Structure 1
Amino acid sequence: MLNAEELSKLRKAGEVAAAARSLGMDMVKEGVKLYDVAQEVEGYIRSKGCGLAFPCNISINEIAAHYTPCVDDKKVFALGDVVKVDCGAELDGFVGDTAGTVEVGTKKYRSLVEASKIARDTVAEFVGVGTPINEIGRVVEMSMKQNGVKPITNLCGHQIKQYNLHAGVSIPNYNDGNTDRLKPGMIVAIEPFATNGGGTVTNGPPGNIVRILRERKLSDPKSQEFFEYARGEFKSFPFCARSCDFPDAEKHVKDLIRHGVLMSYGQMIEARKGIVSQHEHTFYIAGERAEITTLP
């Protein structure tokens, strides 16, 4: 279980992430640049005294996850886009991880967008100490099928530990048969993904999100300096060049990927190019009913 100081930090990170998510979702309008939304979301998180748990993901339509705009990204939102805004704040390693979905100017996919939200909120009504992990997945799957869509079965929620965004336990979006139970003191992100496609994702092109894979002495002093900066600024968390206050960050990121120091996350694409929606909260498992740390 977390002590009072740790719990306070977890709650602060969740509060900041929730406000950043709402800010980002409110900005999603036809003609607005993805870059501007990502910068505003991340700027807000930092202005409140938190670090970035990962770059703001802005994944559109069949892209389920792992898209964040690069420095010179000119993409804008188009009418009818289904946009996932996924962001995270961290305070001394304690994380608030949250996401929501917006449909730009139309209601064609309203039931799909609502399906992931309903599934998440249905789980929130019962999840707590002792909840079997597969029961969470069963409820997500059942809720989505009742709403005429499918869960994405190879994307899941996850346990979070201090300075570790994806730690240990996975939280499925279908009944995977895992009868292990949630334990007191766990922090978990529950994030149902809904689709009108096939129900799985495949690896798409490399994205702009990276994390430190290993430490290695670099021959180029500037690359070494950038590595030291990134390790100090982002610690063990994923990051991107756009979020770096360092000259030629994009060049250094590419160099460090080439040297095997950084790994990049591929974009996750729905296998049949179906539209994807996502809603996510972070939960602190401390009693019969878990505390949601990322409520508005």
Structure 2
Amino acid sequence: MVFGDRGVEIKTPEQIDVMRRAGLVVGQTLELLRSSVRAGISTGELDAIAEDNIRSSGATPSFKGYSHPPFPASICASVNDEVVHGIPGERVLAEGDIISIDCGAIVDGWHGDAAITVAVGAVAADVAELMRVTEESLWAGIGAARLGGRVTDISHAVEAHVRSQPHPTGGSYGILEEYVGHGIGSAMHQPPNVPNFGRAGRGPKLVRGLALAVEPMVTLGSKETTLLPDDWTVGTVDASWAAHYEHTFTLTPRGAWVLTALDGGEQRLHEMGVPFGGR
């Protein structure tokens, strides 16, 4: 491990392999949670399922005890107009809700981080569109990354995809600017920041050994947010609903490798015509 341009941590291939192990724990945990989401389950129950799976897989939750005030849970569970960092607890999910679940795991000191948004049964058409657009923008960002490129190539691709999609009610989607993706490795949050908007061709160079967490957060209305009284949960100021998707990925000489996707991202990358760099 060395530190390159602007303090960016550059991992060895062996360290990336450990991050892949952490990423698989995260990916498997999120799939378990996806299948567990239903009307009548509480966000606290989902957190218990996640922590048990992470620990039984030989990993440690990244989020529990993180920062100040210490985050009290193993996942972030953000419902409807909550965008990110929701604290799991007694809230019970209802038919028609959506829940964004963010999950992190540590294996031998190396991190994986990913997020999904899950519908609770049938949801409104505009909410389903929001989820589709946000998830597609994540893959557009990853698909724009190339060795020798720049971090904001990802940012521009995320924004361009969101802006290219018609809003269900004729307005425009809100792309959060205050909360962004990030470098990841021996710590969960590292340089560089990975915004979800902006011009291409800026920021640190994309090189082998760099790992990034790309995480678009998109709303049906305003991009403006507010911090709720628990000092963690971020909600929209206009109560518009939000979606959040995230993957950790790296670049190899062969192409992109999504460390938190169970198949390494091979299927989605192939559909986009993007070279797959995993194994």
Check whether TM > 0.5: yes
Contact 2:104 2:114 in 1 (8 A): yes
Query: Residue 34 of structure 1 aligns to which amino acid in structure 2?
Result: T
Matches for 1:126-275 after TM superposition, within 5 Å: 126-147=144-165, 148=167, 149-162=173-186, 164-175=187-198, 179-180=202-203, 181-207=205-231, 266-275=232-241
Secondary structure of 1:290's aligned partner = strand
| CA deviation vs aligned residue, 1:166-196 (integer Å, no higher than 9, x gap) | 1111000100677122232111100011111
* Offset at residue 203 of structure 1 (A): 1.7
Matches for 1:55-74 after TM superposition, within 5 Å: 55-69=74-88, 73-74=89-90
The answer for the alignment partner of 2:265 in structure 1 is: none
The answer for the alignment partner of 1:49 in structure 2 is: 58
| CA deviation vs aligned residue, 1:106-132 (integer Å, no higher than 9, x gap) | 231110011111001112223132222
Percent of pairs with identical residues: 26
Of 19, 33, 47, 2:28 maps to: 19
| CA deviation vs aligned residue, 1:113-153 (integer Å, no higher than 9, x gap) | 11111001112223132222222121111211222223212
Contact 1:197 1:271 in 2 (8 A): no
Query: Residue 165 of structure 1 aligns to which amino acid in structure 2?
Result: M
| CA deviation vs aligned residue, 1:205-226 (integer Å, no higher than 9, x gap) | 225xxxxxxxxxxxxxxxxxxx
The answer for the alignment partner of 2:268 in structure 1 is: none
For residues 33 and 58 of structure 1, what CA distance do their matches in structure 2 show? 10
Contact 1:192 1:278 in 2 (8 A): yes
Contact 2:50 2:75 in 1 (8 A): yes
Contact 1:136 1:175 in 2 (8 A): no
Higher mean displacement: 17-26 or 120-129: 120-129
Contact 2:154 2:200 in 1 (8 A): no
Query: Residue 87 of structure 2 aligns to which amino acid in structure 1?
Result: T
The answer for the alignment partner of 1:215 in structure 2 is: none
Of 242, 246, 250, 1:276 maps to: 242
For residues 126 and 133 of structure 1, what CA distance do their matches in structure 2 show? 10
* Offset at residue 278 of structure 1 (A): 0.8
Change (3 A) 1:269 1:94: same
RMSD after superposition: 1.7
Which runs of no fewer than 5 residues in structure 1 stay unpaired?
Answer: 208-265
Query: Residue 151 of structure 1 aligns to which amino acid in structure 2?
Result: I
Which structure 1 residue ranges, 4+ long, deviate > 4 Å from structure 2?
none
Contact 2:141 2:153 in 1 (8 A): no
Aligned length in residues: 234
For residues 176 and 271 of structure 1, what CA distance do their matches in structure 2 show? 26
Max Rg structure = 1
* Offset at residue 283 of structure 1 (A): 0.8
* Offset at residue 3 of structure 1 (A): 3.4
Secondary structure of 1:285's aligned partner = strand
* Offset at residue 76 of structure 1 (A): 0.7
Change (3 A) 1:146 1:63: same
For residues 254 and 202 of structure 2, what CA distance do their matches in structure 1 show? 17
Secondary structure of 2:228's aligned partner = strand
For residues 47 and 176 of structure 1, what CA distance do their matches in structure 2 show? 43
Secondary structure of 1:165's aligned partner = coil
Which runs of no fewer than 5 residues in structure 2 stay unpaired?
Answer: 1-9, 64-73, 168-172, 263-279
The answer for the alignment partner of 1:117 in structure 2 is: 135
Higher RCO (CA < 8 A, seq sep 6+):
1
* Offset at residue 197 of structure 1 (A): 1.6
Of 87, 90, 94, 2:106 maps to: 90
Secondary structure of 2:208's aligned partner = coil
For residues 196 and 106 of structure 2, what CA distance do their matches in structure 1 show? 25
* Offset at residue 31 of structure 1 (A): 0.7
